[in-house]
């Protein structure tokens, strides 16, 4: 069992998914962008490189919750990358574990399976 800030997860009570659905906010332009991030693939948002390592969602018969383990780095041209965030984010409680950045906010909204095309 894992508990963090009042959130409890029992082993086996979540289903791993292939895509994390994130929201990204550019605080300068006030533009919100939906980001679909496949597991273990780097997705670019502004100057941020976002890698989702795991995304899980509770089954429909349980209280809704999506959680994702994210690694976020800032990469600017001609500069070294800076590690900004590595940890779990919770869709129902974005303030529990948030990334601190002067320009960008990123949070988890959902986890889902990859759609089959073909």
Mean predicted lDDT score pLDDT of the chain: 86
pLDDT number for residue 10: 43
pLDDT tens-place string over residues 14-66:
567 799 999 999 999 999 999 999 999 999 999 999 999 999 998 888 888 99
Which tokens sit at 51?
A: 């890698």
Residues 57 and 47: beta-carbon distance below 8 Å: no
pTM of the model: 0.80
Residues 10 and 53: beta-carbon distance below 8 Å: no
105 vs 11, more confident: 105
Q: Which H helix or E strand runs over 82?
A: strand 82-90
Cα 59 to Cα 66: distance, rounded to the nearest angstrom: 10
* Torsion 24-80-54-118 (CA) sign: positive
pLDDT number for residue 4: 46
Residues 93 and 100: beta-carbon distance below 8 Å: no
Question: Is a pLDDT exceeding 90 seen at residue 103?
Answer: yes
DSSP output for 57-96: E--TTS---EEEEEEEEE--TTS--EEEEEEEEETT-TTT
1 vs 28, more confident: 28
Cα 53 to Cα 59: distance, rounded to the nearest angstrom: 20
């Amino acid at each position: 069992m894992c508990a963090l800030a009042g959130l409890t997860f029992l082993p086996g009570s979540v289903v791993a998914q292939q895509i994390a659905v994130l929201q990204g906010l550019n605080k300068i332009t006030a533009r919100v962008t939906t980001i679909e991030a496949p597991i273990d693939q780097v997705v670019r948002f502004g100057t941020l490189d976002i890698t989702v390592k795991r995304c899980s969602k509770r089954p429909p018969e349980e209280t809704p919750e999506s959680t994702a383990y994210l690694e976020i780095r800032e990469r600017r041209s001609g500069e070294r990358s800076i590690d900004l965030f590595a940890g779990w984010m919770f869709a129902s409680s974005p303030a529990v574990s948030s990334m601190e950045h002067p320009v960008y906010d990123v949070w988890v909204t959902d986890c889902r399976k990859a759609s089959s095309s073909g």
